[in-house]
Chain A
């Protein structure tokens, strides 16, 4: 949950921020040193804003805010990839992936997913355990579990052959109209190093949600913190999100033109590299033709598209991708075949 290694250049060290102290739903007490968004906290805790009678909806998680726009933009495919998914039972699923590539290593990857029996919703069951092992022995594993009706936890580890590269644990609390999460990344008690990320997202009105993020990282001899604020506005058929932080600005706009066409515009500016990039993406959905087409144009003169087609009588799905960098005149294409 969250990009644990997102800490960039250290800002002036503020007091180490831990998670928001939560009481019952609606009670928000902010520990000193944690930067709240510039909106007065609800003066009467526990009551919906404006006392309109209809409660504010839960705003979702902090990472999901930019996701709608990111899903519209195609991913660069490279080489040939064959994925075979097989469901062995209602709870257990296995996947085999063979990757053949010219730029990176070719390999085989085995993945298994177990979904538990505790059902919290029509599509969600917990605990969820996912594991992935490479032919070189690199392991990715995640365990997601719903501890209580409002608290969800996740533990993830990642290894590169036998060395542990990432290990993180996070806890998310969903209140009535807010979500807060704490992530502890790569904690190392012996070295005294680690990363703590705290997220908070609050619904101000049914359309507006504001939130903040605090990243505190520590290594022997060095520590730093980065904060950023985020606002998200949801309209009738659009979502606009803005994130401003010490590391730069990130703004996305997602628009649903009709039930076939979705558009996304993304603007990213980084303080560290002093660069800005704008990208425009669109997604065309033609269920009649079993077709999903995503295209994108970038300010770095990169043009790319991914075409996904379901070859229907068989449970087979074919994805063709092409990315062309007009300025450097480089081209990359790839094929993904998914069975099952």
Chain B
């Protein structure tokens, strides 16, 4: 009689323990997630609004970074080529002119003494062109 009572469902929870050797296999079968999936699963502890806000921020900043990178590439190219076309030749020529004038001044100094080459002695210095309207 007591044996039948023991086996009936009303008897209460029965503690069963599988034999030792099977424990590791079962645990291994349950652990079919990779490390990354487990770490990602940890984020599920945060509330939904926080999770969605973080996701939007992250993707938004990636987009902004990409756009900024491509914009700065284009801007650098446009700036460099425009500078090259609009400003560089004049810079070259004025530098060359300065060097020439310096050289001539030095030559004059050597020829005529230290106080010779200063004012009015530079060749090629023409009076400014009259204002034409």
Contact = CB atoms under 8 A, between A and B. Distances in A.
A45 B93 CA distance: 55
A94 B89 CA distance: 32
A259 B85 contact: no
A23 interface: no
A122 interface: no
Contact of B89 (A259, A287, A288, A293): A293
A304 interface: yes
A237 B131 CA distance: 9
Contacts, number: 55
18 contacts: A234-B133, A256-B131, A256-B133, A259-B129, A259-B130, A284-B90, A285-B129, A286-B93, A286-B97, A288-B125, A289-B94, A295-B85, A297-B86, A303-B82, A303-B85, A304-B85, A305-B86, A324-B82
Contacts of A256: 131, 133
Nearest to A307: B89
Interface string B79-92: 00110011001100
B124 to A, nearest CB: 5
B97 A288 contact: yes
Q: Is the interface of A mostly helix, strand, loop or mixed?
A: strand
B13 interface: no
B64 interface: no
B128 to A, nearest CB: 4
Interface residues of A, number: 24
A289 B82 contact: no
B51 interface: no
A289 B85 contact: no
Contacts of B131: 237, 256, 259
B89 A289 contact: no
A324 B129 contact: no
Contacts of A304: 85
B48 to A, nearest CB: 45
Q: 6 tightest CB-CB pairs across the interface, nearest first?
A: A289-B97, A259-B128, A295-B86, A303-B82, A307-B89, A305-B85
Contacts of A289: 93-94, 96-97
Given A285-B129, A309-B93, 15 more contacts: A234-B133, A237-B133, A287-B126, A287-B129, A288-B124, A288-B125, A289-B97, A291-B93, A305-B85, A305-B89, A307-B89, A307-B93, A320-B89, A322-B85, A326-B82
Contacts of B96: 289
Interface in A300-323: 303-305, 307, 309, 320, 322
Interface in B101-133: 124-126, 128-131, 133
A234 B131 CA distance: 14
Interface string A129-158: 000000000000000000000000000000
A324 B133 CA distance: 31
Contacts of B128: 259
B78 interface: yes
A288 B124 CA distance: 6
Nearest to B123: A288
Contacts of B82: 297, 303, 324, 326
Interface in B56-94: 78, 81-82, 85-86, 89-90, 93-94
Nearest to B97: A289
A318 to B, nearest CB: 12
Residue of B96, B125, B128, B133 contacting most chain A CB atoms (<10 Å): B133
Given A285-B129, A303-B86, A324 B94 contact: no
B90 A324 contact: no
Contacts of A291: 90, 93
Contact of A324 (B85, B93, B124, B130): B85
A326 B131 CA distance: 35
Nearest to B78: A326
Given A289-B96, A291-B93, A326 B81 contact: yes
Contacts of A303: 81-82, 85-86
Nearest to A291: B93
Contacts of A320: 89
Interface in A73-102: none
A320 to B, nearest CB: 8
